[in-house]
Structures are given as C-alpha cells and as structure tokens.
Structure 1
Amino acid sequence: MTEGNFVDYVKVHVASGNGGKGSTHLHREKYVPKGGPDGGDGGRGGHVILKGNESLWTLLHFKFKRHFKAGHGEHGSKNRSSGADGADVYLEVPLGTVVKDSLTGEVLMEITENGQEEKIVEGGMGGRGNWHFKTSTNQTPRYAQPGIPGQERDITLELKVLADVGLVGFPNAGKSTLLSVLTSAKPKIADYPFTTLKPNLGIVKYREFKSFVMADIPGIIEGAAEGKGLGHYFLRHIERNSILLFLIPADSTDVSQEYMILLNELKNYNPELLDKDRLVAISKADLLDEELMEEMRKEVKKDLKEVPFTFISSVSQFGLQQLKDTLWGLLNE
C-alpha cells in the first residue's frame, strides 16, 4: 500500500430516507358500495449503517465519494398494502474507525469488530394509513399520516490503526527498515527525516505459523503532542497498539534521554499510553563492537531501570529472533 493510498481521515455527508405516506384509500368494489377505509401504511426510509470489515486497512474508498443517501420509503396503497421500505446504505469501514459529529466533535461510536453494524442516521418512519383511524363515530376517515422525513448529518471518520505492536521513534531511527525485514511490507525507505508520512502495517511471521501485526508510525519530534511535525495525525494510531516498541539507534548521543523525550510526548498526548507494555530496541547494533555494546548495556540498564531492552540490527539481522520472542511473550502474557 503506497502512502498516497493510505487515507485515515475523511469527512462524509450521510442522509437517511424519508418515510412513505399512509394511504387514504376507501375500499370500492362491485356490490360493496361502502367498504370503508383500507389505506395501507407507508414504508420506512432507509438507514445509513456503518459496518466493520477486517479486510479493509484504509478509508481510501471514501476519497472520491463523500455523499451517501439511503432510499425513501414507498407510499401505502389500497387493500391495506404497506409501501416497501427504503433501501439501506451500508458504509464499510476498517476496524479501528472512530466516528465523530463534524459540527460538535462528539464521538458517536467506534467500530472495532468485524461485522459490527451501527446506524449512523435512521430512516424516517412511514405514516399510518387511514384504516388505523376508523372509529364508531368516524367510519370513513379521509386522512392518513405523512411519513417522517429522514435525517442528514456530517460525520468525520478517523482511523486508528489496529496493530499488536506499534513502532515509536524519532525520524530516521530505522523503523521502516525493521518493518521491511520482519514482514513482507515494503515501506518507503530513504536517508532523510519523515520518509514515512503515513503508518505502514505488516504481519510478522512467528514460530509454528503464528503471527502478529506491527505498525510503523511516522517519526516523533519534540512538541509532537502540541501538533508540531506530523502531530496528532500519527499519535492517534499509537492508541490502539497493545505494545509500544521504542526504536532508538545505537549512534544516538544519549539513548536514555531520547527514550524519555519520546515517552514525554506520548504522556502529553494521552497519559493512558504509559499503561501499555513497552520494550526498547537499540537499533543499528552492527555499528558497535562487543566492548561498546556491553558498556552501553550497563548504562541503559541503570537509566531505564524496569523497562526491558534489547540490541538489534536490521541490516545484519542481529537479535531479531530474540526481539520477536520477547514481543510474542509480552503479547501472550
């Protein structure tokens, strides 16, 4: 999936159908001159329904069509025949989609399960036909209910990527390279900051045909929680990840300080993110000899205390199996 095809934020306009009118028909038949009222009910208007689809990874299909309108209910007719209900419109969205009211910003619902269906706007009820209003004193009512109009609404769809492991790090930390080595994903890789502009997903194959999903989130910079850099456009994707894998290159001036800056940005954005399991991977370990690695290990262990860490190299594939073992263990504790 290319970056241009990854759409994680769209605004759409939805409208449900009007209810059909009830009929005011009076029964007329040869030899039955006063058959009485037999007007049927109007059909209900169509709903607009959101449906979770685990096969979708993006909101790309809303990029070129953003107005959706359900069908109107048909009017009632004679012989107490009810009008047909209006056709419902189903909008399929990827799992992890948050639905907000565009005007108020209120969160209306979240789609997190495959096949989950939620009505976003309900169709108008059909009007009742005149036979409902027949009484002993008014045996030929010549009125019926009109249908109730449908509803219209502007909604915002935001995708928060559903992944088991989210990669967190500064630009150029090697997140895309790690994802390309561990999975069959082909993210854009280049030697400049913010090469990755949209999250990339990949499936990591584990032992005995097991697997888990990893997401490469665009790089964090200081002040990201306040909207600097790519700001909230990527931080919201981290909220759905079970484990946060902090990637810090071995040639960093201060591994512990870099980790604390990243952690602070997550805390400023949403303090609940600190409740997630964390693992620090010191990448580009092929730049270190054994003596340097041991020295750095002692220093990092002293500074990070309880946070587990490991050394890896995506280029030489050093420590990658151990990394997968650790992540699998955290996922299945």
Structure 2
Amino acid sequence: MASSNFIDYVKINARSGNGGAGALHFRREKHVEKGGPDGGDGGRGGHVILKGNAQLWTLLHLKYTKHVKAFDGKAGEGGRRSGPIGKDIILEVPLGTIARNSETGEELFEITEDGQEVILLKGGRGGMGNDHFKSATNQTPQHAQPGEPGLEEWVILELKVLADVGLVGFPNAGKSTLLSVVSAAKPEIADYPFTTLVPNLGVVSYRDYKSFVMADIPGIIEGASQGKGLGLRFLRHIERNSILLFMVPADSEDIKAEYETLIQELKIYNPSLLDKNRILAVSKTDVLTDQEKVSLREKLPENITTLLISAITQEGIEQLKDKVWELINSPFPVK
C-alpha cells in the first residue's frame, strides 16, 4: 500500500434524487365519456447508499469525487401508471468507514461488514396522483401531489483501520521493521522520524495455517492527543485494533517512562483504549549484550507482559506471535 494511495478522510457533497410528480389525469375512452381520475404516482428519488467492500483498504477512489447525485424519480402517468424510481447511487467503501455530519461532527453510522448497505441520504418521495383524492363529494379531483425534493448534505467519510493488533510507539521504535519481518507487507523503512505516514497492514502467518492482521500505524509523539505531529490521524486508527502492541527500543533512555507517555496519550484521547489487551515489546535487543539484557529487565514497567525482541536476529518473534494469538482469542482483558 503506497503512502500516496492511502486516503483515510474525504468530504463529499451528496444529493439524493427528487421524487417524481403525481399525474393529474382522467380516464378518457371512446365509450367512457366522463371517466374518473386515474393519475398514477410519481416514482421516488434515488437514494445515496454506502456499501461495505472488504477488498478496499482506502478511500482513494473517492478523493476526487466531490459531488454525488442520485437520479430523480419520474412523474406518474394516466391509467394509474406509477413513474419509474430514480436510480440509486452506491458508493463502495472499506470496512471501518464512518459517516459524519460535516457541520456537527455527529457520527451517522459505521460500515463494518462486507456487503453491508446503509442509506446515507434518502430520495424524495414520489407525489400521489389524483386517483388518490377522489371521494363521494369530489369525483373529479383537480389535484395531484408534486414529488418531495431530495436531500443535500456535505458528509465526511472517515476510515479507521480494522486490524487484530495495532503497533503503538514513538517514531523509530522499529514497528515497520517488525511488520516487514512477520508479514509480506513492505512498509518504507528508514532511520528517521515519521517514515510511516499512513497505516500499513500485514497478514501474519501463524501455526496450523492460522493468521492475524497487524497494523503499523504512524508513530505517536508526546502531545498527539492534542493534535501534534500526526496526532489525531494516528489515534483514530488505534481505536479499531483488537489488541495494542506497544514498542519501545532497547536503546531508549527510560523504557518505563516512554511506555507511560504512550499510555497517557491514549488515555487523554480515549480512556476506553486502555481497556484493550496490550503487550510491550522491547525492540532492537540485538544491540545488547546478555548482561545488558539482564539489567534491562529490572527497569521494565510492571503489570504488563513484556518481551525482548529483535527483528534482525528473530529473538522473541515466535513468543510474541504466541502471546498475540492468545490475547486476540481471549474473551476478556488479560492483565
């Protein structure tokens, strides 16, 4: 997934179709000189619909789609013939897409299943023909309803990446390197901050042909919950992961303090994130001697499972997969 091709936020102007007008018509045949009203109903306007597609990972295909308009319903006709319904417009979106009102920010709904369809804007109702308005006292109604106008709104579509495990850490914690080693994903890797600017997803193979999805998400920085750095873009994707894998490099000045900073940023943004199962992986341990590893273990945070790993030497990688699989399949938070 190339960085330039990952779009997780678009704003579109959506318009549903107008309803067709009801017909004002009277039956007129050779042997029926004064037939009654027989105006048909107008067709409803087309809906604007969002549909989940599990094969999509980005909103790129909607990036340049600023205006979306469904088709209008057609007017009714004589002989009680209803007008055709306006054609719906269906926008396919990745799973994890949320629709929001652009003015209030209110969440309208979320697409989470493949094939799920939700009406974003309903088309206007078709008007009733004059056949509906006949009565004992009014046998020749001169009235038919116009169709209802469609709706128009600016809507925000926001993607939150769906994955089993999300990698959480400061820039250069080794998240991209880990993902490239345990999966077929090819994230950009370099020794400078914010190499990863968009989420990368990788399918990690596990024992007995099992697998799980891991997301390498842009590195957090202190102050991300206030929007610093990549800030809220990063935190939005973290919300959708089943478990959180915190990563701190072995050469960090204070591993415990770095971990606590990461926890604090998540807590400020959304306290419920701390209810997720989590693991701490100390990365880049290939630079340490055996004695340094012993000393390092004495400085690790308490109350969290911590593993020492190296993507280069593969140290601790299998144990990490085992622990991830255990927590993914645990019905309750494991502390």
Measured against the shorter chain, the TM-score band is: over 0.9
* 2:161 alignment partner in structure 1: 161
Is 1:105 aligned to 2:105, yes or no? yes
TM-score (norm 1): 0.97
Whether the 8 Å CA contact 2:134–2:140 is kept in 1: the answer is: yes
Q: Partners in 2 of 1:116 and 1:199 — Cα distance? A: 24
* 1:22 alignment partner in structure 2: 22
Q: Percent identity?
A: 63
Whether the 8 Å CA contact 2:59–2:159 is kept in 1: the answer is: yes
- Residue among 311, 315, 318 paired with 1:318: 315
Q: Partners in 1 of 2:31 and 2:110 — Cα distance? A: 60
C-alpha displacement of 1:97: 1.0
TM-score (norm 2): 0.97
* SS of the residue 2:233 aligns to: helix
* 2:325 alignment partner in structure 1: 328
Q: Partners in 2 of 1:5 and 1:186 — Cα distance? A: 14
Whether the 8 Å CA contact 2:246–2:279 is kept in 1: the answer is: yes
Question: For structure 1, which runs of at least 5 residues remain unmatched after alignment?
Answer: none
CA RMSD of aligned residues (A): 0.9
* 1:306 alignment partner in structure 2: 303
Q: Partners in 2 of 1:20 and 1:229 — Cα distance? A: 50
* 1:235 alignment partner in structure 2: 235
1:229-308 → structure 2 map (5 Å cutoff): 229-300=229-300, 304-308=301-305
Question: For structure 2, which runs of at least 5 residues remain unmatched after alignment?
Answer: 331-335
Q: Partners in 2 of 1:135 and 1:271 — Cα distance? A: 63
C-alpha displacement of 1:149: 0.5
Q: Partners in 2 of 1:241 and 1:57 — Cα distance? A: 15
C-alpha displacement of 1:291: 1.6
Question: Which residue identity does 1:4 align to in structure 2?
Answer: S
Q: Partners in 1 of 2:208 and 2:263 — Cα distance? A: 34
* 2:5 alignment partner in structure 1: 5
Question: Which residue identity does 1:282 align to in structure 2?
Answer: V
* 2:333 alignment partner in structure 1: none
Count of residue correspondences:
330
CA displacement, residues 104-163 of structure 1 (integer Å, 9 cap, x when unaligned) = 111111111222211111101101111111112211112201000000010001111101
CA displacement, residues 168-217 of structure 1 (integer Å, 9 cap, x when unaligned) = 11111111010111111111111110111111111111111111110011
Q: Partners in 2 of 1:166 and 1:181 — Cα distance? A: 15
* SS of the residue 2:314 aligns to: coil
Q: Partners in 2 of 1:103 and 1:73 — Cα distance? A: 28
Q: Partners in 2 of 1:17 and 1:174 — Cα distance? A: 50
C-alpha displacement of 1:299: 2.6
* 1:55 alignment partner in structure 2: 55
Q: Partners in 2 of 1:212 and 1:66 — Cα distance? A: 35
1:37-48 → structure 2 map (5 Å cutoff): 37-48=37-48
